[in-house]
Amino acid sequence: MDITQFLVLLLENLSRLDFVEKVDIQSEAFILKGRAFLKKNRFLQIYYNEFTETKAFALIERGKRIWGIDYDNIRGWHLHPLENPETHSEITPKTVEEIINFLSEVWIKLK
């Protein structure tokens, strides 16, 4: 998937969430980095590398990851669960839509 396709899917899915306040994205060549600023002083840190297909989504609160989903060529797809975000739990591959839906479920648990 190229950066443009990733960005379109990301923005389409984030726009459906009522707790997203704004999105700030930067891209350089084949890398996209950004943040979706959320209510309650939280943000979703986003990273995508088109060349390596690395994807990283980290929910940040008070400077620390409290949840996340990542894919890289070393660990494959893995979850940083809300209960223990420092761990890496293997998961099946996820689409951008599935990741954002998962974020929505996590958000409900945090209320």
- Cα separation of 56 and 58, whole Å? 6
Long-range own/partner contacts, residues 63-70 (CB < 8 A, 24 or more apart): 66/42, 66/110, 67/103, 67/106, 69/94, 69/99, 69/102
**Average pLDDT rounded to a whole number, residues 59-66:** 97
pLDDT digits (tens, 9 = 90+) for 72-93: 999 999 999 999 999 999 999 9
Residue 42 C-alpha from the chain's centroid: 13
Q: Is the pLDDT of residue 111 over 80?
A: no
pLDDT digits (tens, 9 = 90+) for 17-43: 999 999 999 999 999 999 999 999 999
What predicted TM-score, i.e. pTM, was given to this entire model?
Answer: 0.95
φ/ψ of residue 38, rounded to 5: -115, 165
pLDDT recorded at residue 34: 98
pLDDT recorded at residue 51: 95
